[in-house]
């Protein structure tokens, strides 16, 4: 390979890196100050592109000058910043006091809403933006032609980094941002108007995302899929760099941009998984990212978010659980479709319950729980389709496969904590997804595998429903029992104070690892049951969207409650199933429902039930 | 008989020597205090003994058995109970639940999947709470307690491991003066009646001079004096660098108060 | 146009109820369940649905099917995942009492619904999924596909470059089944058209996340004479822009799947490259049969929008369904399946036969070259490639399809 080619390929990588950094810097600043994992950041990026493809051509009608082009880009960024303020004022400000994970759920609701609003406002057709006047051409670098606009982009990243540095070190607002990133409580103690600080931060973060989107319009058309394509990469950059560290994000973006540019030369299919491989590798070696610091231990003891003191069900709780169970068993009296939905609710309830076993009971937040669900489904499905074994052994294999992979990934996961742990679970889930996606000969690739149907005796919807009910209810009762048992109590103890648990002789890591494995096995069983209820398996069963669905379910149900996730799964699925047949814009309504529930039931359905019963949850 | 022996413990953080050649021994039933100004290396020494920190040099033995560099959970299993500068309890548990949890861990039952944790070791836990005077509050969430009571619960947790040695890092930090005296008296009583050795660091000179059998004075990572409270109080070097005259008077007053 | 659509079930439940009562002697309409990615793939699926409604109304106005019965489509979003789609299919069959199913866009969704249909022994017309598997290795008795498959469209393009002295080829395709199988088909078919051709580079960027600069750089580095492109949608726009600026397409033969379809040509706008050999739908240039012209006029009048490839597919699908119902004259699944075998429909683009051998329709597509007209992309030198000439050879079908 010639040097000129390698140079130009490096420049391509730098241009991508620069764009990625602009977006990720906003995400990392918002996280640093507010500790909110802002899923809506990708939506802001998308809105930046859409607003830019709307106003920039309009401006260029007056005069095709670079000035007007960049004025339009900046105006788009500012407009998106204003939308960030709207989100902060209307939504986030109301929920700063609720558990941090709940804010994540609210921003996920915003993602769904923005997706549909974009379709309603701009239509489904991709909108190409104008090229930048004065930067339309290619310039020759040695013997290779390279887009002038990308040369410009290469300088945008360092420029934004420099401006952010000035902002952080030369303005009061910036100093406050840094202070809040290092110690949130201190800012409160200084008497700083926290609301103003947060509003300003959201403005800055959203505007950076909007700028990133607006700058892309000469390269890509605005499309309704932009948000999800960027958000995971932006998260990866912030995590590799260290959450809250702007220079870290810069280095991480460079790393990813260059690895991608040269990676495709060696492995043309690498883009699917490269960033996640890099993130997993970095986190295994540096548990707080390249430039991150260990999260400062709380100066004062705070009550954990999650299951506090599990008690036996009281009478009302028993009645409620009994009625719910009877209703599920009586579904065949309604109609065949109700049975189908009931089966799915049971499966999702087990998956959600197993996730809350980790999140609520163990304080181990997994963003990749669908991996074990999906791997369980694949374990069962492959056994049936490749070896011809019937359903029964496949349903035994499902939890074993889910548990085995949870044990493998969990070995590394439990060494970390907090958001880094969550992102490592995400990375492993994406790696598993990529393997299943790419290994076409065995897994059928993204087409998946079909003909995963139950044995003859369980083929009818009703029998399969009862089979699912028996297995899921038994698994849920077992996991609930474990929560009440010493093992569950040990996980809670380790969550409350790992130091104390260690000092009373508990091997915290091993217990967390076993807990992770157990939850993975339960999710695997749910995945196996799901596969047979659908007749097919495909990589979406391991995907991020399903992991986010599971998280939504437990948050809607209430992570502080033992049985709340079951209610959350039922509510989430019911809302989706209600709106999907009604309108194409069911995402909008699902998002609105999620936000409404976050605002009305800030402690989930179980929290609402508990306060209804005038008893602390 | 020597219960705990530290020989030549050394620890560096970057260029700073946090502990240099720290050597001491502690007998069963004895209370040994480590005192010194802030940053003298008290907590560092302490954490090297408890397993939270691995020493760069030197060794720690417990009843003749080498425990240097062992993680805390293993140190605990050899009969070492520990309390922390900022009390560490399981906030989501009740007072009783905290002690039950410690007993479950002590009995190696943490991996049981089906037993009802709330029903295990109830009586033993209540008995421990009774010893620290917290039995009446057994069913309250530990998060609701006054800080002094939390420290007592932490002591009960530490005792659940039936320890031969208690490590107490500033046991009275953050407590009101009256509570301090009561807690130290409680610890001393338990230590003497059951032959438990107690190693503790303390800023409160009243507590130190009232209850310690022997005192180590640590300054800039080095032991500059050691001996009985009287010897330490009389040491001119200690007076110069640490206690000062007011400290000396306070020590004498505390001694009189404790012994009538 | 973005429209806020609410299904009949929501609006019409009350209105329809009295109509269904026996007091009105009119026979109940034939209900057909149509599930598709109306939400996530709206650019494709909404024009498709529009045309289906147009065709449905035209057929009903002309007296319906089976001697006077109306047809009625029940449209549902398939959620764009196999799991959701199978649930929706179940809902259509059990709650909406549809006679059979049609639709789906994504290949994995199509395959999952196909297998579900096989399990439930109900007819499924897979209209849009392109994957070869649906009629080949995973084909089944109850599943029939309307749209020309990846194999057929690739073969049309390979035929268009037959005999050219373009030796060194690079392939760029999205990294998922459609891209992989198009690339595999191209590699398989290329020697038949250019015997001494070789593949010098392959790039498989992740779907929707093409790193255009790096991809174009890697392709250019292999110094190909020709490029086979399978990218579409936002990936295609990014790739074309980058390639134009860097001169990747200059003095090179580019062969590109689907790029001539309005769905993908419109977003390219003034960036549309000159002279790419593509499959597509140049609706404004299609003269025969006259019914096509009438369809275009009716579509534009009703929806105030130009038709897309999806529109054509939707309309032809409804025509096939009407022919099927008239021929079978029953709603019984087995009879419908039997009637579909080699069923010939005189559609708005000419005859379409549902080949009984592999359940693949012979609907064709147009092959031509891209060109820029004003600031819009268009096709030139077009010809209709009848799908009947590009089907899988019989021997391959027999080898691949599972025996009933």
How far apart CA C113 and CA C143 sit, in angstroms, is 9
**Residue A180: per-residue pLDDT:** 81
Chain C contact for A587 (CB, 8 A cutoff): yes
Structure tokens given for A554? 């437990």
How far A216 CA lies from chain B's nearest CA (Å)?
46
CA angle B177, B182, B187 (to 5 degrees): 125
**Residue C11: per-residue pLDDT:** 43
Q: Which of A15-29, A395-409, B204-218 has the lowest mean pLDDT?
A: B204-218
Chain A contact for C97 (CB, 8 A cutoff): no
Q: Cβ–Cβ contacts within 10 Å for residue C198, how many?
A: 12
Q: Checking DSSP bridges between strand C226-229 and strand C253-260, what pairing results, if any? A: parallel
Q: Tens of pLDDT along A72-102?
A: 999 999 999 999 999 999 998 888 777 778 8
Q: Cβ–Cβ contacts within 10 Å for residue A370, how many?
A: 29
How far B169 CA lies from chain A's nearest CA (Å)?
13
Chain C contact for A124 (CB, 8 A cutoff): yes
Number of H helices, E strands in chain C: 13, 15
Chain B contact for A488 (CB, 8 A cutoff): yes
Q: Look at residue A143 and tell me whether its pLDDT is greater than 90.
A: no
> Which chain C residues touch A131 with a CB distance below 8 Å?
241
- Residue A251's Cα: distance from chain center in Å? 23
**Residue A404: per-residue pLDDT:** 98
Domain edges within chain C: 8-149+287-364, 152-285+365-394
Q: Tens of pLDDT along C83-119?
A: 999 999 999 999 999 999 999 999 899 999 999 999 9
CA dihedral C10, C12, C13, C16 (to 10 degrees): -170
* Range(s) of chain B covered by CATH 3.40.50.300: 2-79+163-258
Q: By the 8 A CB rule, do A374 and A436 touch?
A: yes
Chain B contact for A504 (CB, 8 A cutoff): yes
Q: By the 8 A CB rule, do A211 and A73 touch?
A: yes
How far apart CA A413 and CA A424 sit, in angstroms, is 6
Q: What does the DSSP 8-state code read for residue B173?
A: T
Q: Tens of pLDDT along C110-123?
A: 999 999 999 999 99
> Which chain B residues touch A502 with a CB distance below 8 Å?
71-73, 76
**Residue B232: per-residue pLDDT:** 87
- One CATH from 3.40.190.10, 3.40.50.2300, 3.30.365.10, 2.160.20.10 for C152-285+365-394: 3.40.50.2300
Q: By the 8 A CB rule, do C167 and C196 touch?
A: yes
Do C204 and A269 lie within an 8 Å CB cutoff?
yes
- The residues, any chain, with a CB within 8 Å of residue A459's CB and separated by 6 or more, are A453
Across C64-132, the runs of DSSP E, i.e. the strands, are 71-77, 100-103, 124-126
Class of domain C8-149+287-364: alpha beta
Which residue carries 């970390």 as its tokens?
Answer: A416
Q: Look at residue C25 and tell me whether its pLDDT is greater than 60.
A: no
> Which chain C residues touch A337 with a CB distance below 8 Å?
90-91, 94-95
Give the C-alpha distances (Å, rounded to integers) separating A539 from A303, A353, A429, B55.
38, 22, 11, 49
Nearest to A493 among B74, B101, B111 (CB): B101
**Residue A543: per-residue pLDDT:** 92
Nearest to C112 among A137, A260, A448 (CB): A448
**Residue C20: per-residue pLDDT:** 43
CATH topology of domain B2-79+163-258: Rossmann fold (3.40.50)
Cis before residue C29, ω within 30 degrees of 0? no
Do A500 and B88 lie within an 8 Å CB cutoff?
yes
Region label for C80, one of left (φ > 0), alpha (ψ between -120 and 50) or beta (otherwise) = left
Band of pLDDT at residue C16, cut at 50, 70 and 90? very low
Q: What does the DSSP 8-state code read for residue A93?
A: G
How far A337 CA lies from chain C's nearest CA (Å)?
6
Q: Look at residue B40 and tell me whether its pLDDT is greater than 60.
A: yes
How far A360 CA lies from chain B's nearest CA (Å)?
12
How far apart CA A606 and CA A617 sit, in angstroms, is 8
How far apart CA B231 and CA B225 sit, in angstroms, is 9
How far apart CA B44 and CA B222 sit, in angstroms, is 12
Which residue carries 């330490």 as its tokens?
Answer: B232
- Tell me the residues of chain A between 302 and 331 that have a Cβ less than 8 Å away from chain B: 302-304, 306-309
Domain edges within chain A: 25-224, 333-543
SS3 B225: strand
- B24 or A269, greater pLDDT: B24
SS3 A550: helix
Band of pLDDT at residue C186, cut at 50, 70 and 90? very high
Q: Look at residue B83 and tell me whether its pLDDT is greater than 70.
A: yes
Q: By the 8 A CB rule, do B75 and B67 touch?
A: yes
Instruction: Please return the burial class of A10, using the count of CB atoms within 10 Å of its CB with bins 0-12, 13-18 and 19+.
Output: middle
> Which chain C residues touch A137 with a CB distance below 8 Å?
245
Nearest to C267 among A125, A145, A580 (CB): A125
Q: Tens of pLDDT along A530-555?
A: 999 999 999 999 998 999 999 999 98
Q: Where is A525: in which H helix or E strand? A: helix A508-534
> Largest alpha-carbon pair distance within chain B?
62
Mean per-residue pLDDT for A425-452?
92
**Number of inter-chain CB pairs under 8 A, A vs C:** 225
- The residues, any chain, with a CB within 8 Å of residue C22's CB and separated by 6 or more, are none
Do A221 and C203 lie within an 8 Å CB cutoff?
no
Nearest to A485 among B97, B117, B160 (CB): B117
Instruction: Please return the burial class of A2, using the count of CB atoms within 10 Å of its CB with bins 0-12, 13-18 and 19+.
Output: exposed
Nearest CA in chain C to A143: C246
Band of pLDDT at residue B244, cut at 50, 70 and 90? low
Mean per-residue pLDDT for A31-53?
92
Q: Which of A310, A269, A125 is nearest to C206 (CA)?
A: A269
Q: Which of C153, C189, C186 is nearest to C171 (CA)?
A: C186
In degrees and rounded to multiples of 5, residue B4 shows phi and psi of: -125, 135
Do B92 and A309 lie within an 8 Å CB cutoff?
yes
Do B117 and A489 lie within an 8 Å CB cutoff?
yes
Sheet-wide strand order for C343-347: C71-77, C30-36, C100-103, C124-126, C143-145, C360-361, C350-355, C343-347
Mean per-residue pLDDT for A594-601?
86
In this chain, the answer to whether the domains covering C8-149+287-364 and C152-285+365-394 adopt an identical fold is yes
Among residues of chain A, what percentage have pLDDT more than 70?
96
**Residue A241: per-residue pLDDT:** 93
Q: Which of A350, A258, A216, A364 is nearest to A304 (CA)?
A: A364
> Which chain A residues touch B116 with a CB distance below 8 Å?
484-485
B with C: 3 or more CB pairs under 8 Å? no
> Which chain B residues touch A499 with a CB distance below 8 Å?
52, 84, 88
- Tell me the residues of chain C between 265 and 324 that have a Cβ less than 8 Å away from chain A: 266-269, 271
How far apart CA A531 and CA B223 sit, in angstroms, is 68
ipTM, 2 dp:
0.90
């Amino acid at each position: 390979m010639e040097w000129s080619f390698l140079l130009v390929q490096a420049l391509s990588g730098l241009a991508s890196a620069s764009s990625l950094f602009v977006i990720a810097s906003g995400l990392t600043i918002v996280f640093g100050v507010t500790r909110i994992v802002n899923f809506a950041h990708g939506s802001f990026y998308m809105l930046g592109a859409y607003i830019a493809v709307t106003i920039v051509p309009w401006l260029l009608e007056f005069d095709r000058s670079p000035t007007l082009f960049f004025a339009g880009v900046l105006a788009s960024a500012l407009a998106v910043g204003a939308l960030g303020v709207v989100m902060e004022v209307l939504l986030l400000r109301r929920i700063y006091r609720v558990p941090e994970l709940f804010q994540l759920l609210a921003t996920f609701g915003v993602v769904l809403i923005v997706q549909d609003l974009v379709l309603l406002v701009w239509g489904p057709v991709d909108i190409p933006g104008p090229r930048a006047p004065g930067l339309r051409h290619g310039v020759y670098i040695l013997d290779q032609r390279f887009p002038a606009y990308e040369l410009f982009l290469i300088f945008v990243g360092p420029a934004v980094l420099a401006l952010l540095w000035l902002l952080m070190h030369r303005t009061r607002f910036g100093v406050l941002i840094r202070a809040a990133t290092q110690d949130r409580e201190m800012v409160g103690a200084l008497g700083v108007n926290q609301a103003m600080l947060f509003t300003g931060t959201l403005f800055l973060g959203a505007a950076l995302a909007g700028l990133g989107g607006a700058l892309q319009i000469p390269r890509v058309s605005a499309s309704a899929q932009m948000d999800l394509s960027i958000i995971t990469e932006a998260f990866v950059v912030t995590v590799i760099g260290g959450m809250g560290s702007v220079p870290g994000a810069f280095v991480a973006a460079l790393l990813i941009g260059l690895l991608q540019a040269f990676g495709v030369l060696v492995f043309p299919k690498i883009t699917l998984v490269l960033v996640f491989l890099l993130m997993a590798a970095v986190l295994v070696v540096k548990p707080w990212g390249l430039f991150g610091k260990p999260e400062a231990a709380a100066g004062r003891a705070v009550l954990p978010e999650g299951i506090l003191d599990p008690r036996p069900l009281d009478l009302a709780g028993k009645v409620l659980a009994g009625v719910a169970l009877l209703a599920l068993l009586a579904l065949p009296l309604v109609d065949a479709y109700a049975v189908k939905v009931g089966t799915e609710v049971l499966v999702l309830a087990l998956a959600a319950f197993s996730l809350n076993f980790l999140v609520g009971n163990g304080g181990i937040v997994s963003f990749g729980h669908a991996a074990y669900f999906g791997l369980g489904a694949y374990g069962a499905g492959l056994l049936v389709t490749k070896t011809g074994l019937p359903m029964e052994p496949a349903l035994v294999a499902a939890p074993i496969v889910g548990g085995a992979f949870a044990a493998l990934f969990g070995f590394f996961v439990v060494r970390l904590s907090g958001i880094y742990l969550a992102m490592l679970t995400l990375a492993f889930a994406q790696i598993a997804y990529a393997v299943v996606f790419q290994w076409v000969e065995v897994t059928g690739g993204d087409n998946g595998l079909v003909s995963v149907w139950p044995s003859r005796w369980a083929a009818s919807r009703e029998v399969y429903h009862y089979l699912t009910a028996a297995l899921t209810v038994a698994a849920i009762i077992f996991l609930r029992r474990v929560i009440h048992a010493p093992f569950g109590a040990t996980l809670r103890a380790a969550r409350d104070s790992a130091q104390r648990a260690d000092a009373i002789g508990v091997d915290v890591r091993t217990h967390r690892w076993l807990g992770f494995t157990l939850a993975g096995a339960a999710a695997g069983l749910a995945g196996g049951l799901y596969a047979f209820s659908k007749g097919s398996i495909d990589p979406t069963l391991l995907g991020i969207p399903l992991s986010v669905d599971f998280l939504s379910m437990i948050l809607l149900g209430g992570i502080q409650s033992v049985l709340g996730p079951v209610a959350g799964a039922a509510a989430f699925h019911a809302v989706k199933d209600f709106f999907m047949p009604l309108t194409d814009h069911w995402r909008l309504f699902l998002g609105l429902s999620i936000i409404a529930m976050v605002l009305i039931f800030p402690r989930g359905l179980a929290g609402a039930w508990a306060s209804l019963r005038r008893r602390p949850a | 008989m020597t219960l705990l022996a530290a020989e030549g413990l050394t620890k560096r953080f970057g260029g700073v020597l946090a502990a240099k050649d720290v050597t001491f021994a502690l007998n069963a039933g004895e209370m040994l205090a480590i005192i010194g100004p802030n940053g003298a290396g008290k907590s560092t020494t302490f954490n090297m003994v408890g397993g939270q920190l691995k020493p760069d040099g030197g060794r720690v033995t417990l009843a003749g058995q080498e425990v240097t560099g062992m993680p805390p959970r293993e140190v605990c299993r050899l009969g070492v109970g520990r309390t922390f500068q900022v009390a560490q309890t399981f906030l989501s548990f009740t007072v009783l639940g905290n002690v039950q949890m410690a007993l479950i861990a002590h009995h190696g039952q943490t991996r049981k999947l089906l037993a009802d944790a709330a029903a295990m070791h109830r009586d033993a836990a209540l008995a421990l709470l009774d010893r620290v005077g917290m039995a009446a509050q057994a069913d309250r969430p530990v998060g609701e307690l006054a800080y002094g009571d939390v420290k007592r619960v932490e002591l009960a947790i530490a005792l659940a491991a039936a320890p031969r040695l208690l490590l107490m890092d500033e046991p009275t930090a953050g407590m009101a003066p009256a509570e301090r005296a009561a807690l130290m008296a409680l610890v001393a009583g338990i230590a003497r009646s059951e032959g438990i050795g107690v190693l503790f660091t303390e800023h409160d000179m009243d507590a130190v001079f009232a209850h310690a059998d022997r005192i180590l004075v640590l300054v800039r990572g080095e032991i500059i004096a050691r001996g009985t409270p009287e010897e330490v109080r009389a040491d001119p070097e200690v007076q110069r660098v640490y206690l000062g005259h007011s400290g000396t008077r306070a020590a004498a007053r505390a001694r009189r108060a404790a012994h009538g | 146009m973005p429209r806020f659509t609410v299904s009949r079930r929501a609006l019409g439940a009350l209105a329809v109820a009295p109509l269904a009562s026996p007091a009105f002697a009119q026979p109940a309409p034939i209900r057909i369940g149509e599930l598709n990615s109306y939400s996530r793939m709206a650019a494709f699926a909404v024009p498709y649905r529009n045309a289906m409604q147009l065709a449905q109304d035209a057929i009903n106005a002309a007296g319906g099917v089976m001697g006077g019965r109306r047809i009625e489509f029940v449209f549902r979003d398939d959620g764009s995942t196999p799991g959701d789609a199978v649930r929706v299919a179940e809902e259509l069959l059990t709650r909406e009492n549809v006679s059979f199913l049609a639709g789906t866009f994504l290949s994995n969704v199509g395959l999952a619904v196909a297998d579900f249909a096989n399990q439930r022994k109900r007819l499924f017309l897979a209209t849009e999924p392109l994957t070869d598997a649906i009629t080949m290795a995973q084909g089944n008795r109850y599943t029939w596909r309307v749209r020309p498959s990846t194999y057929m469209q690739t073969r049309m393009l390979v035929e268009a470059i037959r005999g050219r002295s373009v030796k060194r080829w690079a392939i760029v395709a999205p990294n998922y089944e459609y891209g992989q199988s198009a690339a595999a088909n191209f590699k398989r078919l290329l020697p038949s058209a250019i015997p001494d051709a070789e593949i010098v580079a392959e790039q498989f960027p992740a779907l929707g996340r093409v790193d255009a600069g790096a991809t174009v750089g890697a392709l250019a580095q292999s110094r190909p004479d020709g490029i086979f492109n399978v990218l579409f949608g936002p990936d295609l726009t990014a790739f074309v822009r980058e390639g134009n600026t860097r001169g990747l397409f200059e003095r090179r033969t580019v062969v590109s799947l689907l790029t001539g379809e309005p769905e993908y040509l419109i977003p390219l706008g003034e960036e549309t490259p000159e002279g790419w050999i593509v499959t597509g739908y140049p609706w404004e240039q299609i003269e025969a049969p006259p019914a096509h012209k009438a369809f275009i006029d009716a579509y534009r009048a009703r929806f105030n929008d130009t038709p897309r490839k999806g529109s054509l597919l939707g309309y032809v699908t409804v025509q096939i369904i009407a022919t099927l119902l008239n021929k079978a004259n029953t709603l019984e699944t087995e009879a419908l399946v039997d009637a579909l075998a080699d069923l010939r429909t005189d559609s708005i683009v000419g005859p379409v036969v549902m080949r009984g051998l592999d359940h693949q329709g012979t609907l064709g597509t147009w092959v031509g070259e891209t060109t820029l007209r004003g600031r819009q992309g268009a096709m030139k030198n077009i010809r209709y490639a009848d799908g009947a000439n590009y089907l899988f050879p019989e021997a391959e079908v027999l080898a691949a399809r599972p025996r009933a």
